[in-house]
Amino acid sequence: MSSRIELSHVGQTFWVRGDEDKQLREFVALDDLNLEVAAGEFLTVVGPSGCGKSTVLDLVAGLAEPSSGRLTVDGKPITGPGLDRSVVFQQYTLLPWRTAAANIEFALEAKGGMSKKQRAERARDYLDLVGLTEFANRYPHELSGGMKQRVAIARSLSYEPEVLLMDEPFGALDAQTRERLQEELIGIWSRTGTTVIFITHDIDEAVFLGQRVAVMSARPGRIKEVIAIDLDRDPSGETDVRASRDFATYRHHIWSLLRQLHHETDETTTEELAHA
Ligand SMILES: Nc1ncnc2c1ncn2[C@@H]1O[C@H](COP(=O)(O)OP(=O)(O)OP(=O)(O)O)[C@@H](O)[C@H]1O
């Protein structure tokens, strides 16, 4: 099962204290942001630092309420967190006193409706899916960074959410582990059909994973452009799609957009400082 997500005219404003006068001021993090994610789509999001990527994810996760606009999952307004949507953060959020399998079982306990035996079986299935069958009884401190993140992904998938929200989940990993996990994630996604929103700072990662890449602008945070990625992926993994001409073209287009946005943000900041 997967779900369609829609954000229309979404705005998010925070109250922040000025550096100089310590007065509270409104800070517009998102303004009139519109985005649709189709059921079963893999959408990646890139944008300058501080443009509001995590804010968007928090809103879809139901961890925060927007100041304006509307967010829906399959047409129903998002009013808070729900087991239909699962979040994977950059930092591994495993319970250190529980084994890999027990971490997953714990999440399933929270969902309810499953016997102990069913939970144990489900945990095994999802550890198999992320290639960690042999490590079910290891504690987090006995696992590598990449393995911990795979357990976190298995845990998020185990309660079979319709939507998987990923906030730079591979950001803390070395380049090789990161590439391997990207490939595994594509495999898992094609098997489960979950709708994925994946935030990253890495253009290559965005192009490799996304069926579409949403590029955000900063100040205010909006969707600048959404680029459909049509790459000839080789399911056997034998061909290096990252080395293809098409990949380089997409990469360069997004790089140029981000560079332009970076200049625009710098100019806005200079103007704001001049008027402060
Ligand atoms: N609770 C908050 N209170 C005040 N300002 C906030 C709050 N949360 C986020 N912001 C501000 O909103 C803007 C967007 O933050 P957000 O974390 O969504 O950006 P981001 O694109 O995910 O950043 P990065 O790429 O650096 O992780 C930033 O300027 C941030 O300082």
Q: What is the pLDDT of residue 179?
A: 87
C-alpha 28 – ligand 1 centre gap (Å):
10
CB distance 51 to ligand 1 below 6 Å: yes
Judge if the beta carbon of residue 176 lies within 6 A of ligand 1. no
Instruction: For residue 47, give the ligand 1 atom closest to its CA.
Output: 21
Cα–Cα nearest to 211, from 64, 2, 66: 2
Question: Whose CA is closest to atom 8 on ligand 1?
Answer: 55
Atom from ligand 1 closest to the CA of residue 52 = 18
| pLDDT for position 165 | 95
Q: Give the ligand 1 atom nearest the CA of 58.
A: 18
* 15 within ligand 1 shell (Cβ under 6 A): no
- Going along the chain from its start, the domains and CATH numbers come out as 5-84+165-275 (3.40.50.300), 93-160 (no CATH)
Is any ligand 1 atom within 6 A of the Cβ of residue 49? yes
> In the numeric block, which tokens belong to residue 42?
């893999």
Mean pLDDT by 10 residues, the chain (276 residues): 91 88 88 96 94 95 96 95 87 89 91 90 90 94 90 87 91 83 86 92 95 93 95 74 93 94 72 54
Decide: 50 in ligand 1 pocket, CB within 6 A: yes
Q: What is the pLDDT of residue 269?
A: 61
Provide the pLDDT for residue 131. Answer: 86
How far, rounded to the nearest angstrom, does the alpha carbon of residue 227 sit from its chain's CA centroid? Answer: 17
Q: What is the pLDDT of residue 238?
A: 74
Neighbours of 216 (CB within 10 A): 23
CA 14 to ligand 1 center in whole angstroms: 9
Q: Is 27 in the pocket of ligand 1 (CB under 6 A)?
A: yes
Whether complex ipTM tops 0.90 = yes
**Cα of 53 from ligand 1 centre, angstroms:** 8
Question: Comparing C-alpha atoms, which of 202, 176, 153 is closest to residue 45?
Answer: 202
10, 13, 14, 57: residue to mutate for ligand 1 pocket, most atoms within 8 A of CB: 14
